[in-house]
Amino acid sequence: MVKIAPSMLSSDFARLGEEARAAEAAGADYLHLDIMDGRFVPNITFGPDVVAAIRRSCSIPLDTHLMIEEPERYVDAFAKAGASILTVHAEASLHLHRLLCQIREAGCRVGVSLNPATPLEMVRHVLSEIDLLLVMTVEPGFGGQSYIEAMTAKIAEARRMLDEYAPHVELEVDGGINARTAPVVVRAGARVLVAGSAVFTHPNGLDGGMEELRASLGLA
């Protein structure tokens, strides 16, 4: 089963609650929240209070992606705010196993993310501790970027690794996902697709964006 997780990074920040409800009504499986600190990535978005406000606006799982330095300092705050899944970058932690255990203890599902140039080998030893592996298919920090074609092979490699060592782990991709690239990443093995501008800035609105994505995957 393929899941679609609209990214709130591409939504109208003046209408976050409405946008969250609209995404849920359009059939989103998860709502993807990009948390950026201006240090790990060159952009700043929002913190736990905004996550809590979005949590009050919808009931679908909040797929919360921490693109921040020292994520261990903020795990409890985002968990209390209502994050369902907390995904941290392997590149952001010197003690990744400890951090993943901290997320589990906080009551969230556990995710780990890799930047495009980071090898999959970096997370092989923690696969038993996670529920979701996020392969970035653009450099993190900004929405609306183009899919890095070389990531197709990495997604396929991740699929083989998970099938062999951790079949319970969901394989998610984020970056440049639209009606053209969605079938490509699904054929490679992705099962959760984060889509921002393809959904929230679609010419036919959010519903049109979701319908086009589903149609590209034969889900309409």
Does the annotation mark 29 as catalytic? no
Residue 28: the pLDDT is 97
Type of residue found at 107: G
Q: Which of 34, 37, 63, 131 is catalytic?
A: 34
Residue 8: the pLDDT is 96
Whole-Å CA distances, 122 to 156, 158, 167, 190: 16, 12, 18, 19
Residue 145: the pLDDT is 76
Burial call 56-83: b when 16+ CB within 10 Å, e when fewer: ebbebbbbbbbbbeebbebbeebbebbb
Tokens of 89: 């970058």
Name the residue among 39, 42, 28, 120 with its Cα closest to residue 74.
39
Model's pTM, two decimal places? 0.96
Q: Which of 37, 63, 131, 174 is catalytic?
A: 174
Residue 140: the pLDDT is 82
> pLDDT truncated to tens, each residue of the chain (220 aa)?
899 999 999 999 999 999 999 999 999 999 999 999 999 998 999 999 999 999 999 999 999 999 999 999 999 999 999 999 999 999 999 999 999 999 999 999 999 999 999 999 999 999 999 999 999 999 886 766 799 999 999 999 999 999 999 999 999 999 999 999 999 999 999 999 999 999 999 999 999 999 999 999 998 6
List residues bridging with 4 in a β-sheet.
193
CA–CA separation, 123 and 126 (whole Å)? 5
Name the residue among 178, 171, 176, 140 with its Cα closest to residue 157.
171
**Top-level class of domain 3-216:** alpha beta
Does the annotation mark 63 as catalytic? no
